[in-house]
Amino acid sequence: MKDTYWGYWLVLLGIFIVVVMMLINNITTTKSQDYYLVKEIAQASMLDAIDYTYYRDWKEVRINKEKFIESFIRRFADSVSLSSTYTISFYDIYEAPPKVSVRVSSQSNSFNVMGDADSFDIVEKIDAVINHGEFEK
């Protein structure tokens, strides 16, 4: 009977540890994860926004500004968690030659630990360019 109680306590401790790890994983995020997320989304959105009829007629790469913004916001919303509030700012969107500057800042909730309020806010700014030579490869 005594061994059965130890088994119950071990299972309960295991469940508690898993719950704590899930909560910590939702709170913490690294700067490199956000950087690569924004970088990959910006590159994929630029490729989605390429105007192929303009390229076929003029042999120059050009993106559609509205299509880029729509694709970026859709992809970003699919990839992030709901535990943070994000602010997306678009700077310098040039259609031809394609260049975009995007700034994403996350505003997570503040946490009180022994009277000290801590918050984890990360700001990422990325510039992306598509060269004509890269597009033809």
**What tokens were used for 84?**
């943070």
Segment 127-136, tens digit of pLDDT: 989 876 665 5
98-130 CB burial, b ≥16 within 10 A, e <16: bebbbebbbebeeeeeeeeeeeeebebebebeb
Give residue 108's pLDDT band: very low, low, confident or very high (50, 70, 90). low
| Whether the Cβ atoms of residue 102 and residue 125 lie closer than 8 Å to each other | yes
Give the helix ranges, DSSP H, for 49-116.
52-58, 65-79
Q: Helix/strand/coil (H, E, C) string of 25-37?
A: HHHCCCHHHHHHH
| Whether the Cβ atoms of residue 76 and residue 86 lie closer than 8 Å to each other | yes
Segment 62-93, tens digit of pLDDT: 999 999 999 999 999 988 877 677 889 998 89
Segment 29-56, tens digit of pLDDT: 566 677 888 999 999 999 999 999 998 9
pTM here is 0.71
Q: Which of 125, 115, 112 is nearest to 27 (CA)?
A: 112
Q: Which residue has the higher pLDDT, 8 or 106?
A: 8
Residue found under tokens 């005594």? 2
Q: Which residue has the higher pLDDT, 24 or 5?
A: 5
